[in-house]
Every structure is written in structure tokens, then in C-alpha cells.
Amino acid sequence: MSNTTSSIKPKEEVTSSATQAKVDSTFEAIASLTPELVVALCGPIGSPLHETTRQITKTLQDFKYRSIPVRLSEFIRINATVVGIPVDMTNRYSEIDTLIKVGDKLRCDYGNDVLAKIAIAKISADRVKAYGNFSDRANEKETSSENQIQAHRVCHIIDSIKNIDELKLLRDIYGEALFAIGVFSPVEIRKKNLEHLQALAIDDINKLIDTDSGEEFSHGQSVRDTFPQCDFFLRVDKPFADPLETQAVSQLDEKLRRFFKLIFRTSVVSPTSEENAMNSAASAARNSACLSRQVGAAVTSESGDLLAIGWNDVPGSGGGLYGKPPLFRIAGKERGDERCYAQSGTKCHNDLEKRMIAQKIAEALVNKAILKPEDLEGAVQVIIKDSRVKDLIEFSRAVHAEMHAILGASRIAGDRVIGGKVFVTTYPCHSCARHLVAAGISEIYYIEPYRKSLATRLHADALTEAINGNGVKLVQFDGVAPRRFIDIFDSGSRKSETGVLELEDRSKASPSTHVSLRAIPRLEEAVVAEISTTNLQLLELTAVGGTDDQGACTTA
């Protein structure tokens, strides 16, 4: 860093002097590992994002960390005039709505990840302000830079990201040092938070929730797409409204303390049965060769024992799915692979059938002289893209992951399936949902939302997303995400040479990340250089009201 660079000898001297000590590359690599953390929050409107920021700050004090909030809503607000959209302060809804529009316009004009770039520029500036510029020269063994790096116990908390390109860029820059936390509350709780703490009318709340979940253009807010890519999911099912605020804070506190104990390895923490099951489901998904998406599922008994896994793929005669042994013989010949990707043309049969339906509708309109013949192809495209025809899933050849898992569990465990749970990487479609109900499943856990599903609409009597609702419960998964399951639960050695449990003190513990401070500043420099060529304003302002980084109100 800047306080130590004056004592570092020039690189030429390192390589040219006969008396110069050899560079210890192993030491150099290890000494540059930084304890610095970046936490990016993501969550639907009304979820307690600001409260999570405050609780992370409080929790990390036990680890002797300094937390620095990065409120992207401040940058949206101060750049409203840059994109020519003044913030409408007529009422709270108008203010939030225009801030969302400003965020969308910023992404449209400067790239979908522009708000992440501003956050990176701020993180870089904060580091330079506190620690000076870090030198990336080799042979710093005799300097105090190692101690300075290890003393850099700082966590930058980005509140909050809502576009997938923002998350991708942050991961590219900070690697394992970045932890994306998905903060979630059930919709009825989020509505209570918004109504009680933001004084919004229910009609306005519904409009904001729809906008926040996923706008139909790449530069819009897309929590529905970004949230599933997080590293840790934190569900808060108590409202931040008196007298239940204490319970909500307690939930946050308990879950965040467990998360950071895992990150710093200061306690022995095992995966929950839910985390194990969802990790099994995600692993199973990798077996799928489906052209549309890979989905995985796992079935557990009521007590949490794993009964079976499944994935979406084409069934083969004789039982089971293609791609896994045993290979069955038909007329004395070994069965070949007849999945969609292996067929000539390599097209999804579901898409082909939807195209045929749209074609027949358009042709019927032409035959009845309702539509001109020259407009037929245009009509076909409109029917496919702008009608419910695009949502049809009935013509896929693949067995869905949930059904594959249920079939396997039924064969192996029989009636142990009754009262059991299903863990699926994607929210179940309405077809799977009704079969899960019939199978006797009590709870369905999911990570990724699924817009096409009509599960609760068609089966409101049997399925519910409400906390206290009756029937089979659809529950947002809570805990360590499958994408970080292995590295977060990999504890390393926990015992001393004498065989005694040995865990590091929280005030000295390093996070289980392996990111070099030689690399991060260089990557940040490129981002800062780009931002400096724009007319974007980077001056921080104190946030007015309670808005998240995209202008969408949370519960602050």
C-alpha cells in the first residue's frame, strides 16, 4: 500500500542484483490474500434489505470488521438529472416509481451493469482513502504490507442489486470475496412492510411488486432472474411492524450469525437437511440434456431422509431416462440416444408444437377472411410471442424433475413419500404441482421462480404460498445455495496436533476466501477509468426516505 511502497526496491533490482534474495512466490501469493469482503444484497421489494445491512454491520463487529454500506439508490437519485428524468416527489409512490425509471434509463444509456460499476468505483475509493494505493510489485517480504493487508478487515455491503448483469460484473471483479445474499419475505409480509412502513396504498404496492419482480426488457429490474443466482438465501417471515419487529430482527440475527460462522469457520456448523436436499437436487440437474433448462429435484421423507433425486429428461422404453445405465435392448439392439439434442434438426418439440398451433390459428383467420394472407407469418409470430401460447409446456418430451424424483422415491420407499418434502431448483409447473399434491407431499421448496406456472391459480384449494395457509406449502428455499455449498461447508482441519478441537478466535479469523489484493485494484482501475469518461455523478448524498438501489422501496 502507499505507506510501504517507498521501501520497496525497483523490480529491476530484484532481478539484476546478485545479492538480492530470491523472490518467494509462494509467500507472495499467500501474503497478498485479503480478508476484505463484499456482500451484495438482492431481494424483492418490501423485503428487509436495509435491516439486513444493519444486522450484517452489527454481526461483523464481533469479527472486528468495519462495514461500509454502498447504497446504490443514492447514485440513482443524484443522476436523475443526467438522464433527464426528474424525481417526482408528489407522493411516495410517484417518488419510488420515477426512481425505478431513472435506474432503468441509466442501464439503458450506460449498460445494464452501470450501477455495479459505480459501486466498484466507490469500493475502490474507500480502500484508497483508508489504506492508500497497494503496490503489486513482487518481493515485498521485508515490508509490512502483509500485516496491512491482513488488517484490512472491511466488508462493503451493496444495497442492493436487481439486474443479473450487475451481479455478473461484481463476481468477475471480486471472485470468491463476493457473497450475494438473497433476502426474501413472503408476499403477504412484504405487503405489510410496505403498507405499514411506507404508507403506500395496496393498489400501488401491487404495481410496484409487479414492476420489481421482472420488467420485460434487459435493462430493467429483474429480481426474479437475479435472486436465484445468490450464494445464500435468507428468508424472513415476520413483518417489520410492531409488535413483531423484534421477532423479525431475531430471525435476521440468527441466520446471519450462522452464515458468518461458516464463512470464518469459527464454529462447527453442519448443513441442514434442507441444504443437503437442495444441493442434491442441484447436482441432479446436471444430468439433464434438455434444450430448455436443467432442473433437479430431491424427495425426502417427513423426517428429512433423502429418498430419491430426479432431473428433467426424455424417458426411454424399459424404464428410466436416457443418458443413464442400464441401456435397454430393443429387438436385440442396444438402445441409442434419442433425446432432442441428438435428433436431426436439434429442435425442441414443445416449441415445434406451439409453432404448429399458432400456424393453424393464423390459417383459420385467413380462411375466414379475418386476416389477409400476406399477414399470416406476422400473425404467427404475434400469437407465439404475445399470447399464452408461449407459456404452453404440455408438448415437451421430457419427464419433469419432480416427477422423475417421485417415481424413484415411490419405487424405493413406498409410502414414506407421504408427508415428505420435495426440493426443486425451479418453482413447480402446474402439472407437477397437482401430481405432488396427489403423491401426499406436504412441502415444496424451490429456488428459481417460474413465470409460466399456474400452480396456485388452478389449485388454490390444495396449494398455498401463505405462511399460515392450508394445504401443501410452496416455500422459498432458505440457507446456503448449492452453487457455494462445497466451499462454504469445507471446514479444513478443525483439530490441533494433539487432536483437540481448535477454532480461531473471531477477532482474528480470516474468511474462507482466496482472493489476492494484487488482482482486485487492477480490475477496479479499469472500471473507474470507464466511469470517469462519463458525465455520471458519483458524489454521495444522504438517502432521502427509504429506497433500495433501484429506487424500489424496502422497509427502511
The dihedral formed by the CA atoms of 508, 514, 519 and 521, expressed in degrees to the nearest 10: -40
Closest to 206 (Cα-Cα) out of 308, 103, 59, 97: 97
Check residue 28 and give its pLDDT: 75
State the pLDDT at residue 136.
58
Other CB atoms closer than 10 Å to residue 513's CB: what's the count?
19
Model pLDDT for residues 474-524, shown as the tens digit of each residue: 999 999 999 999 999 998 878 777 888 888 899 989 999 988 888 899 899
Which pLDDT tens digit goes with each residue over 373-409? Answer: 999 999 999 988 888 888 788 888 889 999 999 999 9
- The backbone region for 423, taken as left when phi is positive above 0, alpha when psi lies in -120 to 50, beta otherwise, is beta
pLDDT of 335-349, one tens digit each?
677 787 877 667 788
Q: How confident is the model at residue 208 (pLDDT cuts 50, 70, 90)?
A: confident
Q: What angle do CA 353, 359, 364 make, to 5 degrees?
A: 130
Q: What percent of the chain has pLDDT over 70?
A: 86
Q: Is pLDDT larger for residue 245 or for residue 435?
A: 435
Q: Which residues does residue 501 pair with via DSSP β-bridges, in sequence order?
A: 495
Residue 292 backbone phi and psi in degrees, to 5: -85, -60
- Angle made by CA atoms 552, 553, 556, in degrees to the nearest 5: 145
Mind giving me the DSSP string for 151-198? T--EEEEEE---SHHHHHHHHHHHGGGEEEEEEE--HHHHHHHHHHHH
Highest average pLDDT, of 9-13, 27-31, 103-107, comes from 103-107
Task: Tell whether the model's pLDDT for residue 334 goes beyond 70.
Answer: no
Query: Which domains are seen in the chain, by residue range?
Result: 35-268+491-533 (3.40.50.300), 274-313+398-484 (3.40.140.10)
Give the pLDDT confidence of 219-238 residue by residue, as tens digits: 667 788 899 999 999 999 88
Instruction: Count Cβ atoms within 10 A of the Cβ of residue 443 and give its class: 0-12 exposed, 13-18 middle, 19 or more buried.
Output: middle
Contact 477, 233 (CB under 8 A): yes
Beta-carbon contacts of 17 under 8 Å, excluding residues fewer than 6 positions away, are none
Q: Which amino acid is at 497?
A: E
In this structure, the chain runs to a length of 556
Find the helix or strand (DSSP H, E) in which 378 lies. helix 376-386
Q: Model's pTM, two decimal places?
A: 0.84
Residue 141 DSSP SS3? coil
20 pLDDT tier (thresholds 50, 70, 90): low
Instruction: Indicate the pLDDT class of residue 199, thresholds 50, 70 and 90.
Output: confident
Question: Which pLDDT score is estimated for 297?
Answer: 98
User: Would you give the DSSP letter of residue 453?
Assistant: -
Q: Which residues pair with 37 in a beta bridge?
A: 155
For residue 555, pLDDT beyond 80: no
pLDDT value of residue 544: 35
Examine the pLDDT at 140 and tell me if it is beyond 60.
no
Higher pLDDT, 197 or 555: 197
Non-local CB neighbours of 514 within 8 Å, separated by 6+ positions: 33, 176
